[in-house]
Amino acid sequence: MSQLLLEIFGWLGYLERPAVVMQLSLVVALMLGTRAARRRRLLARLPVAGYSPVGLGLLALSAGLLGLLRQPTGLLQLLGAVWLGWYALQLLHRLLALWLPAQASHQLESRLLRPAYLVIAVMAVVREVDSLNDLAVAPLGELFGTQISAGKLFQAVVVIYVVLVGCGPPAAGLAWLVQRAVGMSEGSRKAMELMLRYAVVGLGLVAVAVHLGLNTTALIAVAGGLSVGLGFGIKEVFSNFVSGLWLLFEGSVRPGEVLMLDGDPCEVRKLGLRATLLWRDRDNAELLVPNQTFFTEAATTYTASDRMRRSQVSVGAAYHHNPAEVIALLEATARQVPRVLPDPAPKALLLSYGDSAINYALRFWIANPMDNVGICSEVNQAIWHAFKDNNIEIPFPQQVEYSMVWPPEQHRPNTEHH
């Protein structure tokens, strides 16, 4: 490690060379100048995206002038190319926004394109000042008796990163194919996709360890030691991870499932390594719930065997209406609401005799548990219209007020005054 750091520190010595300082100064000055000009809008007619090309043009002009003076310009050209590439990435951002959804475009840029570009740019600059071969074999230290070099570590990091970031689309594609072939449900497809990703990441990590030449016996010994550490130190993290895997295999908490959380139906969006991401329709909130919560606590789900939910609205009708007529009207009304399932048929019940009304319940089935509140609203509106059309009264609570005389022995009922 110290050798590599010394090597990198040694590059500072190039600043002793006037030609290097001249090139670097030009690039830094033009980049900062372009940035300042863009922030202050010095060229009023120029769009924001037009400042970088102006800066790049000036850089090319400077390189040409230095070339005429027979001064080295390779570094200037390289840094200019890096700048140009970065600018091209910004242009690409606009194109990607046209083709891909915002989130996918953002992920592609931030997780793949920009990191890859930065790595390539840094390697290109390093190649100017040193031999990449030399740097690649620079020893960093020993790991389980294996000498780790900078190149090996770099390759390992790149492979792990690419596996972590890049295994998503292939896993999704394979899961989609299997879904089409076998006819599995959407939730199972998503579960399979996640399991494939975990499998690829696991295999990738093992492949990297083998590539590094790590001693497998030592790895097993370390894994044994780690298991004790896991028991004490990071057991929560590990417990959540294992819970997540278990839930995936069990199939009770998969992306797309609907669970009740604090009385609200929530849809599972993502089953992560540590936590499950749920979406609550009521307020569009996204909830991160540790996986082990679902593993250790009881949960209500509407999507375990099917996605149907039986819903209910309550309503009161005046005492003078025939309950049989009200019940028939309620059931007929529910059947007319489009999002109420005809089968099983809606069912109305007389629940109790209230203070001012007879209380009825109308129970019906819906296809999507997440739509419960909206469908209940539609049913309630339909009941109001049906009652109005059939002159069925939804009574207000009725109370009779009369004055009292104290002491009670002297009180005379109101009727006596009339």
Partner 1 sequence: MMSALHAAMAKHSGIRATPQRRRVAVVSLSCAFGLTGCAGGIELPSLLYLAVGTNSDQTIDAELVEDIGARLKLLESSFRQIYPSTRFQFAAYPEDEIKPAMARRNGAGLGPDLLLINGDTAKQLVNAGLADPFPLTPTLANLFNPGDLERLRLPNGDLAGLPVIIHSQLACFNRKRLPDPPSTLQELLEASAKGQNIGLSIELSTLFWTAGSLGATDAWLRVVQDKRLSREDVNSIENWTTWLQNASDQQRITFYPNQASALTEFSTGRLDWISCSSTNLPRLRKSLGASLGVSNLPSGPGGSASPINRLRVLALGRSSSRQGRARALAFSRFSVNPLVQRSITLGSQVLLPANRFVKVPVQSSGTLQAMSDSQEASLRTAELANLLHVDDPRLDRAQTLITQLVFGEISPQGAAKALIALMEAKP
Q: Candidates 30, 56, 75, 253: give the one binding partner 1 (CB under 8 A).
A: 75
Query: Interface residues for partner 1 in 53-72 (CB under 8 A)?
Result: 71-72
Is residue 207 involved in binding partner 1 (CB under 8 A)? no
Question: How many whole angstroms separate alpha carbon 203 and alpha carbon 71?
Answer: 51
Query: 10 Å Cβ neighbour count for 112?
Result: 14
Q: Candidates 116, 118, 121, 129: give the one binding partner 1 (CB under 8 A).
A: 129
Write the CB contacts of 235 (distance below 8 Å, at least 6 apart in sequence). Answer: none
Is residue 137 involved in binding partner 1 (CB under 8 A)? yes
**Burial status of residue 189 (CB atoms within 10 A of its CB: 0-12, 13-18, 19 or more):** buried
Residue 271 Cβ vs partner 1, minimum distance, rounded to whole Å: 39
Q: Candidates 50, 74, 170, 374: give the one binding partner 1 (CB under 8 A).
A: 74
Q: Candidates 30, 56, 63, 138: give the one binding partner 1 (CB under 8 A).
A: 138
Q: Candidates 1, 5, 15, 223: give the one binding partner 1 (CB under 8 A).
A: 15
Q: Candidates 34, 62, 73, 311: give the one binding partner 1 (CB under 8 A).
A: 73
Residue 72 Cβ vs partner 1, minimum distance, rounded to whole Å: 4
Residue 75 Cβ vs partner 1, minimum distance, rounded to whole Å: 4
Residue 378 Cβ vs partner 1, minimum distance, rounded to whole Å: 52
Is residue 141 involved in binding partner 1 (CB under 8 A)? no
| Cα three-residue angle 21-25-27, rounded to 5 degrees | 125
Query: Interface residues for partner 1 in 331-350 (CB under 8 A)?
Result: none
Nearest to 136 by CA among 156, 160, 162: 156
Question: How many whole angstroms separate alpha carbon 126 and alpha carbon 82?
Answer: 13
> Near partner 1 by CB under 8 A, which window of 83-91, 130-138, 166-174, 250-258?
130-138
Query: CB of 91 within 8 A of CB of 79?
Result: no
Is residue 128 involved in binding partner 1 (CB under 8 A)? yes
Is residue 10 involved in binding partner 1 (CB under 8 A)? yes
**Burial status of residue 193 (CB atoms within 10 A of its CB: 0-12, 13-18, 19 or more):** buried
Residue 134 Cβ vs partner 1, minimum distance, rounded to whole Å: 5
Residue 204 Cβ vs partner 1, minimum distance, rounded to whole Å: 25
Task: Give every strand in the sheet of 309-317, ordered side by side.
Answer: 309-317, 358-366, 347-353
CB burial readout 22-33, b (16+ within 10 A) else e:
bbeebbeebbee
Is residue 134 involved in binding partner 1 (CB under 8 A)? yes
> Near partner 1 by CB under 8 A, which window of 21-29, 187-195, 235-243, 261-269?
21-29
Is residue 35 involved in binding partner 1 (CB under 8 A)? yes
Nearer to partner 1, 80 or 265 (CB): 80
Q: How many residues bind partner 1 (CB under 8 A)?
A: 39
Query: CB of 89 within 8 A of CB of 117?
Result: yes
| Cα three-residue angle 240-243-249, rounded to 5 degrees | 145
The tokens for 320 are 């003078």
Q: Candidates 2, 90, 110, 147: give the one binding partner 1 (CB under 8 A).
A: 147
Gyration radius of the chain's alpha carbons: 35
Is residue 41 involved in binding partner 1 (CB under 8 A)? no
Write the CB contacts of 389 (distance below 8 Å, at least 6 apart in sequence). Answer: none
> Which runs of E-coded beta strand occur in 291-357?
300-301, 309-317, 347-353
Report how far apart, in Å, the C-alpha atoms of 337 and of each of 170, 365, 386 are: 43, 11, 12
Residue 16 Cβ vs partner 1, minimum distance, rounded to whole Å: 5
Q: Candidates 78, 112, 158, 178: give the one binding partner 1 (CB under 8 A).
A: 78
Is residue 25 involved in binding partner 1 (CB under 8 A)? yes
Question: Given the rule CB under 8 A, which residues bind partner 1?
Answer: 3, 7, 9-10, 12-21, 23-25, 28, 32, 35-36, 71-75, 78, 127-131, 133-134, 137-139, 147, 149
